[in-house]
Amino acid sequence: MLWIILLAAAIVAALYGISLYNGLVRLKHNVSKAWANIDVLLKQRHDELPKLVEVCRQYMGFESDALERVTQARNQVQQARSKGDIGALGMAEGALRMGLAGLFAVAEAYPDLKADNGFQHLRTRISTLENEIADRREYYNETVNQNNIQIEQFPDILIARFFGFKPAESLSFDARELTDPDLKALFS
């Protein structure tokens, strides 16, 4: 009878361990899936930015600073994205968003540019992508938070450490992004 009780306890413990492990695997893959959703949007925006810069360059020949900031920030985002460096990506994203805000603000001084169908389309497309990235970033960070909580809770931490589950890094943007751009400085 004792053997039956011990065997039942071992089976229950094994099933519980398997359940914990499977939950951790599911969370790890949810983090990867959430990142992939952001990455798709970043790639789409990455492809649209050169078109926007080219349209603006045709009208804003002497406003090269605004165009250069966007181009440099785009390159930084691409480098961080390709390395998978979430911290650097957050900083580069902040610089890119500030650069785009500056570019759109400077574009206000060019009525022909504002009226250009290509510019209007690209501005709308990029703004839509920005909103989608913000939404997906929120989901990604929530998934990262769930993952990190799960791998730190007892008894999950035992399984997580044994199988090498690591905490994921949240995607946060530069503090400059959280403030409104100084439009006065952009036009002076």
Alpha-carbon gap, residue 153 to 134, rounded angstroms: 29
In CATH, what number is assigned to the domain containing residue 47? 1.20.1440.20
In a domain, 21, yes or no: no
In a domain, 1, yes or no: no
Alpha-carbon gap, residue 83 to 88, rounded angstroms: 9
Helices assigned H by DSSP within the chain: 2-59, 64-83, 86-107, 111-115, 117-152, 156-163, 183-186
Give 97-117 pLDDT, tens digit per residue: 888 888 888 888 888 887 888
Closest C-alpha to 138, from 171, 168, 98, 177: 171
Q: Which domain holds residue 93?
A: 26-186
Give 46-56 pLDDT, tens digit per residue: 888 888 888 88
In a domain, 20, yes or no: no
Provide CB contacts within 8 A for 123, sequence distance 6+.
52, 104, 107
Confidence of residue 1 (pLDDT cuts 50, 70, 90): confident
Query: What is the tally of structural domains in the chain?
Result: 1
In a domain, 85, yes or no: yes
In a domain, 112, yes or no: yes
Give 54-96 pLDDT, tens digit per residue: 888 777 665 677 888 888 888 998 898 888 888 888 888 888 8
In a domain, 129, yes or no: yes
In a domain, 33, yes or no: yes
